[in-house]
Amino acid sequence: MKYTDLQNKSVEELNALLKEKRLEVFTLKVKLKTMQLTNTAELRAAKKDVARIKTAINAAK
């Protein structure tokens, strides 16, 4: 996900996307703790997506 994709979205859409990504980060963390996560780079990418979405929300205000 790129920041330029997020710039055109409304705040409501961004908040919904943020909720989805936070849930994804949570599930990835659980999988990591239970040794079910094979690609740990997914967790890092999901965290960066959350940061990008937060940045877009702050820029939209």
CATH number of the domain enclosing 47: 1.10.287.310
* DSSP-assigned letter for residue 38: S
> From CA 10, how far away is CA 17, in angstroms rounded?
11
Summarised one tens digit per residue, pLDDT across range 8-55 is 999 999 999 999 999 999 999 999 999 999 999 999 999 999 999 999
**Residue 37 is part of which domain span?**
3-60
What pTM, to 2 d.p., does this model score? 0.90
The total of structural domains in the chain comes to 1
The better pLDDT of the pair 60, 61 is held by 60
Residue 2's nearest CA partner among 43, 42, 56 is 56
Q: Residue 1: its pLDDT value, please?
A: 82
Sequential DSSP letters for 5-36: HHHTS-HHHHHHHHHHHHHHHHHHHHHHHTT-
Q: Residue 57: its pLDDT value, please?
A: 94
Q: Residue 61: its pLDDT value, please?
A: 79
* DSSP-assigned letter for residue 40: T
